[in-house]
Structures are given as structure tokens and as C-alpha cells.
Structure 1
Amino acid sequence: MPLAEAADGTALHYEVHGSGRPLVLLSGQSNSHRWWDPVRDDFAAAHQTLVLDWRGTGASGRPDTDSYSTPGFARDVIAVLDHAGIDRAHVYGTSMGGRVAQWIAADHPERVDRLVLGCTSPGAPHGVERGPEVRGALGQPDVAAARRALLELMYTPGWIAERENGPEEPVFHTLGDPGMPPHARRRHLRASARHDSWDALPRIAAPTLVVHGTADTFNPTANAPLLTERVPGARMRLIPGARHAYFEEFAEVATPLVLDFLAENGA
């Protein structure tokens, strides 16, 4: 089990699959590398694909310190790349992973070939925040009801019903790492909420693709054009009808879209 070490000594678990041009896949807030399980093999068929557990999740360390921030997570990714012996890679981040990916590309441009920002945001105060009805649904005291609200923000009703009515118990990989301690969940939430990359975005030099679902209210779709206009030369692709977990439910559209972008100019 590969373990890198962050600057503060925190152990960072990661996995590498496949071969080819390196590609880093970055998960959402409070999630481990398993966020990518449903589609990882599709990327590993074309790339040396690296996934990692954020500090506080999975098999990584879980310090209860002020070390959780999106720029800090970006430094953790660089530590993992160093440990894996990867000098330069494509970076594909979704949700909070997309926020971290912005800092990697802005602060470590020599490490990034191509950049994909999925269902993400530049953060407050310039980004578009989720509405009060979404915050209320996620913050309700009934844990089961809050989890159901999150599930419905991630996937369309038809997709959920198909899996819930199937022969096997459905497994959803995007609803948070169940093994996270409460302090790590709080610190992940705070890190994502404090993200503000607005002034850094014009420094991004990597060719950039912004991807978002048109029905995403968890991280409103209006953030996609904001990022596209702010990152020099960025392109935007919206996936009709997709909610926050577009990369899983709409994988037949999203994965080839991303792979084609990464393959441009022989990358």
C-alpha cells in the first residue's frame, strides 16, 4: 500500500493503475479514492492513473489540526506525485477535487499537462453558492433524510430507482467516506467552504476543460462559465440533464469526452 508523506508528516495513501501518460483523479469533499471506483478502470485503460485518499479519509492520516485547506490539499497531491516518481501529469478534479486542481495548476504549473475541472467552483465570493433549500435539506437533523437528499443531488431519480430496484443492494461511492472521524468531516467542510481561487485562476497555463451537468444544484451549473471565462483559453462542455455525479451516471458521455481532450496533440 503506497504511502507518501506530507510536509507535516501526515501519511497519504494512493494507488496507481494502468500505464501510459500519468493522470491524477481527485475526489470530492469527505470522500476517499473510492469516489472513482465506477469509472477508474476506463481511465486506467489509457493512462497511468493515480487516485489518492485525502487527509482525513480512507487509509491516509487523520490529523485534527488546521492543515486542511484546498491549497494544502494541492500540496499533498504534489507530495504524492513526488513519492510516485511522477514529474508531470494530467489532472482531473471533480467537486472539491476540482477546487484543489485549480491550485495545483496555478501554483505548480510545471507539474500539469492538461487540466479538467468537473462540477466545481472558484469559491466564494465570486462563485455561485448552492441555494438555501439545498443547504436546508443537507443540514436537517434526520441523518437518513439528509443522506437521501445528498443522493438525489448526485443522481437523477430514474438512475437511483433503477439501482434500488435491482437484484443487488446498490453501492453509492459519492456520499462520503463512512470511516471518517467527525473532526475530519468538519475540517473538510470548512476547507471547501473557504476556497477562493479567483485571483489565481488567470495564472493557469495548462489547456483546460470545464465540465458540468446542466441539472447540478449541489454545485450550481452557473459556476462553469465563470471558471471558463476566468481560466485563459478554457473550454466548457455541459452535459444535459446531469446532476453532480455526472462522471458516474453519465460516464458514457463524460469519460470519452475527457479522454478525447487529454489525447489532443498527442498528450
Structure 2
Amino acid sequence: MPDYAIADDGVRLAVEERGSGVPVLLIAGQATGMRGWGPFADALAEDFRVIRFDHRGIDDSEEGDPARYSTRLFADDAVAVLDAAGVAAAHVVGHSMGGRVAQWLAAEHPSRVRRLVLIATSANDRVAPRRDPTAVADLLSGDRSRMTPLFFDDDWAQANASTVDAFFTRTASRPALRGHFAASRDHDAVEALGRIRAETLVVHGTRDPLAPVEHARQLAAGIAGARLDERDAGHGLHLDTPEVVEAVRAFLLPPAQRG
């Protein structure tokens, strides 16, 4: 597989993969680099061919025009990544804004998605209850001490400093960061949820300050047959809650291979 995929508008997207078997495409959150998947990607690579990429404007991917950024554009980028990998269809796992991107991917490119996992995400920002403005301000502050509690439990963060650092560290211009924020803020796939045909698992933390758990409940209700898995966790539960990666792994594996 090439180190880069080429988006429809010519933007080069940095791609990495590891493992073998059925492909799993990981779609990262807002302004988050692919290396932020850390041990989650490592664990899945024991059973799957894991493909991850940097969103346009982040780390090793080209920026393009940030004024055009949207979750639908990012979904088209994900298709370009699959094409470059020679993958007709993959399991798709999206975290936060990546879950919003994954919604469009599954709704508008259904043949490309085998099973769908949506972690700590929602169909739009207008779902009641609205997220806490203080949490949004902390997220946008760039202050690691303010951002970390939104995602991770304190004890876990202190014991896993390198994973936390990899999650938050990325290179991006201010226009790209603004474009990512606007893309996530303006996302609205409520009407598209009914078009998702992939078997879907929705995983969410009941203490998520950036996406109240009611968002996950409404998201799961809008996707036919979706399973909802609620955990006592925050926004970064895919990293700080070991049971989450095991639940995702079990959902994606054929029944005969589940431990």
C-alpha cells in the first residue's frame, strides 16, 4: 500500500497500516493525528489489517483549502484511502468527529462499509442536551491540563503519559484547526442515519462532557438495528477503558473467532 492516498481534489493523505486479515479503517477525531489511536490500533492489529490516516491539514497530510472542510468531504477522503489500499470494503471505526465522518461514509458509500463502530460521537450538535460550553472552551484552549480531563480519567492519564501525549500532539495550521472545528460543529447527518445499512455498534461514555450520552442514544435509535454500549467513562474511552477495545474486537470478529 502507498504511503499516501490522493483525494479527489489532489490533496495527499498520509496513510499507515499494520496487521493482516479483514481490513479495519480507523477515522480519527477532530484535529487528531492517526498516531493518536495508539494502543487501540495496536490491539486491533492482532486480528485485523488496520488502516489509519491523517485527516487533511493534520500532521503528514496536505492541507488543501480549509474553507471547504466538512465531514462529508472527510468521508470522501476516507474512500480515497480505501481505494489507495485496494480495499473494496472494510470495517469502519470512528471516534468523535471521526464517527461523524463514518456516518456519511456508511450512508453515502454503503458498499464500502462492512460493520460500523461509532465511538463518542453524535449525529449533530443540536441534539438535546447541548454540550457544556465550558467543556468546548477547554477543548479549544490548547491547554493540555484543561483538555486531558475531558477525555481521560486522571489515574490512567498519569500512568499512560506517552499515550496521552501521542493523542494530543499534532501539527496543524490555524486555518486547518478552524476548518476542523467548523466541520465537526456543522455536521448534521440525522436525516442520513436511516440510510445506514451496516451492522452498527455505538459506544459511549456516560461521563462524556463533549457529547452527552443522550446523543449516543438518539444516534443508535436512528440507525436500524444498532447496538448501544454505554460505559462509565469520558470522551477518550477507546483508550482509557480496556473493555472498549475488547467490545469492538468482539463485534468485528466472526462469531467462531470471538474469545
TM-score, normalised to structure 2, is 0.93
Displacement, 1:218? Answer: 1.6
The 3-state SS of whatever aligns with 2:145 is helix
Within the alignment, does 1:206 sit opposite 2:234 as a pair? Answer: no
Displacement, 1:115? Answer: 0.3
**Matched residues in 2 for 1:125 and 1:214: separation?**
18
| Corresponding residue of 2:247 | 257
**Matched residues in 2 for 1:94 and 1:160: separation?**
18
Q: Which moved more, 1:119-128 or 1:37-46?
A: 119-128
1:192-214 deviations in whole A, cap 9, x for unaligned?
A: 00000000001000000000111
What are the residue-to-residue correspondences of 1:217-228 with 2, within 5 Å?
217-228=209-220
Displacement, 1:266? Answer: 6.3
**Matched residues in 1 for 2:201 and 2:46: separation?**
21
> Would you say the 8 A contact 1:30–1:176 is kept in 2?
no
**Matched residues in 1 for 2:167 and 2:209: separation?**
16
**Matched residues in 2 for 1:84 and 1:163: separation?**
32
Displacement, 1:176? Answer: 5.0
**Matched residues in 1 for 2:128 and 2:110: separation?**
23
**CA RMSD in angstroms, aligned pairs only:** 1.8
TM-score, normalised to structure 1, is 0.90
Change (3 A) 1:139 1:7: closer
Within the alignment, does 1:172 sit opposite 2:173 as a pair? Answer: no
> Would you say the 8 A contact 1:23–1:50 is kept in 2?
yes
Structure 1 unaligned spans of 5+? none
| Corresponding residue of 1:243 | 234
**Matched residues in 1 for 2:159 and 2:205: separation?**
20
Displacement, 1:161? Answer: 3.6
What are the residue-to-residue correspondences of 1:102-181 with 2, within 5 Å?
102-126=103-127, 128-139=129-140, 143=142, 146-163=143-160, 171-175=164-168, 177=170, 179-181=171-173
> Would you say the 8 A contact 1:209–1:236 is kept in 2?
yes
2:101 aligned partner, one-letter code: V
Change (3 A) 1:256 1:69: same
Whose helix proportion is higher, 1 or 2? 2
